Structure 1
Amino acid sequence: MRLSTFCCLLLAGSSLLAADLPDGHDHEVLPRFPQAEIVESSQGDAERRYPLGGIQRISGRLRYEREVLAEGWLSATTYRLPVGHLAAEAFAQARESLLRQGAELLYWCDGRDCGSSSLWANTVFGNARLYGPDERQAFALLRLAAPRRDSLLALYAITRGNRRDYLHVERLDAAAALGELLPTPATLLRQLRTDGQLLLPALSGEPGAAWVDVLARSLMLDSTLRVALAGAQASAWRGALIERGVRAARLELDETAVDGLRLSRLP
């Protein structure tokens, strides 16, 4: 390689690093999207109210279908994505990376299903930079895997009206135990349709009423969906879902050994 070429590459790399805020920080559980730049960053004690459903303002008051309210140490980072890469691309990569690490997806919405982008930007996150067209947003709230079960990680992606793309990442380490948190039925259905499967490592034992209810409600959102259940207790889970009202013809058993419970979408 010529010296002049090497110097140009070195300067280009330095300029990318210099674009970050001096006190910007990445999140240890989430690799940075290639060439993304940190444009906002903060850390400190905070309280967060994360919606588990679309949000709207009615008679001047915010309305959440469901929510998770927690306080603790909050670490927030906003990335501007490189030109030519969409916010949806970075969002998908981040979500998939966290799921591979065993995180549990509690809520996932896309586009207008999330509600008003203005409310997400200005009320949920207090960051006007994140405002954009409602149809170009996505949000996910995940609970990290053990030993970080009392930590939440929020992802918000937006393509602004000026075509610039941003990914906002927040990690909240709760000061108190979060207790049981269940995903929304629509979120489980979105996972099944998008990923082709649901892997639920925590469901290794006998069926519990709360989880049976949420799984059954998810499957009832699409009466045409057929799944195969795998895991040591797959037969017991199948029986519980049938008792809850899911048609037996929609539930098959898979002999594959897996940790916990896995639902795989059938053709």
Structure 2
Amino acid sequence: MNKFIVLIVLLVPSIVLARPLSDVYADGKVVFESVEKDSNYQLALGVLKKVNAEWITEKERTVFGTVFRTTTELEPHSSEVVALKRLEENAKLQSGHLIFACDGLDCGSSNAWANTRFEIKQLYGMDQSQSYRVWEFASDEGHYIGVGYTVRRGNKRVYAQVDVIAVSNNVDYVPMVSTAKAILTSLDQQGYFVFRGYRLEGGALTLDAQHIEPIVKAMRSKPLLKLKVVGHDYLAGEESEREARSIKYAQQLIDALIAAGAKSNRLTAHGVGGLAPQGMEGKVRIVLIAQ
């Protein structure tokens, strides 16, 4: 049976949240904890690979802000599966936007993550048990970046590293581009993915090609998936005007996806105007929903 993905343009308010991922493992044992103000955090956005005797990432970004770091040893008889699930559920509750994800051997060497990237030896565990996630969180007060790493050691103890960066330069902050795997992971685990590669200026929607390509790549890796692009519009005007604009948003995104290599027979445009839950107003967002 074919699966369908619905791509929806929504209008939602800014989300007010406390520091994200701050109480994921409240019942665990805190091994290390620190707060670093005015810090340049080297954010890994790819797996670690050894090149010329040096561990490097495929892609990284420097984020300036206050860095909250916590290393936790989970309660006895816990598992790395539970550790990751709790992390992901917490991120979902706080509307985290998944940017990068890797699991097991696909992440590279746990030794490199523990001793080179995080510089915490307790995180050195079994390669096949590790998971790494990066999320973005938006709030009225600014942006946060959440980093999570979970692993099981040979002695069966499970550790979790959670780094949260409160971004300082919010005015100039540019949203990061999610990988194709991050998109598919969000669709599989949450049922939706928020696409944010756009600007709305003077009623016109401008799309960023960097955010388009990962969606096309995700579609190529799942040939049975189809996309329904549904536009929602809560701007001023009659409902008929909002409906017309919402269809225009949807078709504009479809055109961009096709131009980037997506198959037109896997994309359909829909517009529902202002039909959305109460409170969804103000800002435009584009949501990819798995059906």
- Deviations, residues 79-130 of structure 1 (Å, cap 9, x unaligned): 1111232222232222232233232211111111111111111111110100
Q: Does 1:261 align with 2:254?
A: no
The CA deviation at 1:38 is: 1.2
Amino acid at match of 1:33: Y
Superposed, 1:93-242 pairs within 5 Å as: 93-147=86-140, 149-176=142-169, 177-200=172-195, 205=200, 206=205, 207-232=207-232, 233-242=249-258
Contact 1:204 1:231 in 2 (8 A): no
Could you tell me which residue of structure 1 aligns to residue 64 of structure 2? 71
2:27 to 15, 35, 59: 35
Contact 1:159 1:165 in 2 (8 A): yes
Which TM-score applies when normalising by structure 1?
0.79
Could you tell me which residue of structure 2 aligns to residue 8 of structure 1? none
2:79 to 83, 86, 96: 86
Amino acid at match of 1:262: V
Gaps of 5+ in 1: 1-26
Amino acid at match of 2:260: R
Higher relative contact order (CA 8 A, sep 6+): 2
How far apart, in 2, do the equivalents of 1:231 and 1:88 lie? 36
Question: Is the deviation greater in 243-252 or in 101-110?
Answer: 243-252
Which TM-score applies when normalising by structure 2?
0.73
Cα–Cα, structure 1 residues 237 and 136, in superposed 2: closer, same or farther, change >3 Å? same
How far apart, in 2, do the equivalents of 1:149 and 1:92 lie? 26
Gaps of 5+ in 2: 1-17, 233-248, 277-283
Question: Is the deviation greater in 79-88 or in 120-129?
Answer: 79-88
**Equivalent residues, number:** 240
| Identical positions, percent | 23
The CA deviation at 1:174 is: 3.3
The CA deviation at 1:34 is: 5.4
Amino acid at match of 1:187: A
- Deviations, residues 62-87 of structure 1 (Å, cap 9, x unaligned): 23111111233211111111123222
Question: Is the deviation greater in 257-266 or in 91-100?
Answer: 257-266
The root-mean-square deviation of aligned C-alpha atoms, in Å, is 2.5
Cα–Cα, structure 1 residues 230 and 87, in superposed 2: closer, same or farther, change >3 Å? farther
Cα–Cα, structure 1 residues 59 and 36, in superposed 2: closer, same or farther, change >3 Å? same
The CA deviation at 1:202 is: 7.0
Cα–Cα, structure 1 residues 208 and 133, in superposed 2: closer, same or farther, change >3 Å? same
Amino acid at match of 1:210: Q
Question: Is the deviation greater in 40-49 or in 110-119?
Answer: 40-49
How far apart, in 2, do the equivalents of 1:61 and 1:190 lie? 29
How far apart, in 1, do the equivalents of 2:94 and 2:228 lie? 23
Could you tell me which residue of structure 1 aligns to residue 262 of structure 2? 246
How far apart, in 1, do the equivalents of 2:90 and 2:268 lie? 29
- Deviations, residues 164-222 of structure 1 (Å, cap 9, x unaligned): 11111111223434423211222212322333321336758533333223322332233
How far apart, in 2, do the equivalents of 1:89 and 1:202 lie? 32
Amino acid at match of 2:211: W
Bigger fraction of residues in strand: 2
Question: Is the deviation greater in 247-256 or in 119-128?
Answer: 247-256
Contact 2:49 2:58 in 1 (8 A): no
How far apart, in 2, do the equivalents of 1:164 and 1:112 lie? 19
